Structure 1
Amino acid sequence: MNVFETIAAQAAAMKLPIYAVTAATVPRRDAPILLIIHWHGFARETPLRLDDLPLPPRSVAGSALQIDAPGEGIESAEQALLDAAWQLGAWDLERVVKRPWWRLGAPASEALAGHRAFGDYPDADSADPGVVMEAPDRDELMRAAAHRGYVRWLFRPRKSGLWQWVEDEDSTLDGTGGREPPCPVLPYPLEAGRAGRAVYRLGRVDRLII
């Protein structure tokens, strides 16, 4: 499962800093992962130019990509995401396990969060696409998540990311803002059907801060 290679190729093509990377899937073997790269950048919506009418730029839409994982489970997906977060210099990787939102009494906020995790933004401006979707199984994944729950990961890269300009110290980073593989952090066990949150700390500060 080439998560790091996929992100690196997209960053090289877009030539924009990454704000964050999220990924979501359902707790089912062979389920694909929906990887979303959230860019930091703005672009004009149209090449049209009018002297008396300034046309404001819009934020660049995220890139939503499907990564298939035949024969693999969530543990393999999480290890691939840990490896990517490690190599891209992220301080941590967050994992949240969510209950299905298609259930009696579920608040609307859970349904909205579930849709957003899979790149669907029903509350967004209709003129703003949010993401450019290259995931043929996204709708099927979202339906499965509504009935079975889902897992969502989040990390913020320093290498190729917006956070490379933030002066936060991290003793594990190399000169490029990344780290050499392999990632030494192993995935925590995932309890099926139980909602929760886990944070993998990847960075550290070795010197004493007074």
Structure 2
Amino acid sequence: MDLFNAVHEQMDAVRLPLVAVTVTAARRLNTPLVAILHWHGFRRASPLVLPGIDIPPRSVPGSAIQVRHAWHCIEAVDEVLLDAAWRLGAWDLERVERRGCNVVGASAGEALACRQAFGDYDGASADDALIDGAPDRGELMQLAANEGYLRWLFRPVKGGLWRALDERDDTLGPDGGRPPPCPILPVPRQRQGRSRTVYRLGAVRRILLP
């Protein structure tokens, strides 16, 4: 599972800065992962040019990628995400685990969070919100609604919107990335079904003056 190269290929093709990368997995071993690349950019809502009418731009839709690779524990996915986040210069990597929303007592907010984790944005058409390259996304979302899911998030500096802040991180190279391997080891998941883990990747080793 080489998430770093998959993200890098998308960056070369789209040629826009990344705001964030999210990866979501249903809580069942060996199911495909859904990675969503969130771009920073705008496009015209219509190719038509009408005299006297200003057509407002819309945000560039995200890109969904389905990652197929056998994984037998959450820590194995953590290792892949840590590698990608480290090499892309992210300050940290967040992992959250959530229960399924098709359970008694689950709130509307939990259902919304589950849909959004798989790129199903309430009130937005599919073409406006997402370029869908994950054919099993809907089935995986239903599985997650029943059994729970995990979602990882990091914000790249290399090729990302956050390049302007790279001077605050002393671990970054000139291009905003870091050479492999990532020195941070995965943390075993907790067993209660809902948890949040943050891996700190960046560091500041000097005094920052205002």
Deviation of 1:126 after TM superposition, in Å, equals 3.6
Task: Determine the structure 1 residue equivalent to 2:77.
Answer: 77
Task: Determine the structure 1 residue equivalent to 2:41.
Answer: 41
- For 1:86 and 1:53, the matched residues in 2 are separated by 46
Task: Determine the structure 1 residue equivalent to 2:5.
Answer: 5
1:27 and 2:27 correspond: yes
Q: Does structure 2 retain, via aligned residues, the 8 Å contact 1:99–1:193?
A: no
Give the % identical residues.
Answer: 50
- For 1:44 and 1:138, the matched residues in 2 are separated by 27
Deviation of 1:193 after TM superposition, in Å, equals 4.8
- For 1:98 and 1:47, the matched residues in 2 are separated by 41
Pick closer, same or farther for the CA change 1:125–1:32 going to 2, 3 Å. Answer: closer
- For 2:206 and 2:2, the matched residues in 1 are separated by 34
Q: Does structure 2 retain, via aligned residues, the 8 Å contact 1:121–1:130?
A: yes
- For 2:198 and 2:103, the matched residues in 1 are separated by 27
Deviates most, 81-90 or 20-29:
20-29
Write the letter of the residue equivalent to 1:14: V
What's the RMSD between the two structures over aligned residues? 1.5
Q: Does structure 1 retain, via aligned residues, the 8 Å contact 2:35–2:65?
A: yes
Pick closer, same or farther for the CA change 1:127–1:93 going to 2, 3 Å. Answer: closer
Write the letter of the residue equivalent to 1:84: A
Unaligned 5+ runs, structure 1: none
After the TM superposition, list the runs of 4 or more consecutive aligned residues in structure 1 that deviate by more than 6 angstroms: none
What TM-score comes out, normalization by structure 1 length? 0.94
Task: Determine the structure 2 residue equivalent to 1:103.
Answer: 103
1:129 partner SS: helix
Per-residue CA deviation, residues 138-160 of structure 1 (Å, 9 max, x unaligned), is 11111111111100010100000
Per-residue CA deviation, residues 163-184 of structure 1 (Å, 9 max, x unaligned), is 0023651110000000000101
What TM-score comes out, normalization by structure 2 length? 0.94
Unaligned 5+ runs, structure 2: none
- For 2:130 and 2:192, the matched residues in 1 are separated by 29
Alignment of 1:5-154 (within 5 A): 5-70=5-70, 72-122=72-122, 124-126=123-125, 129-154=128-153
1:112 partner SS: helix
1:166 partner SS: helix
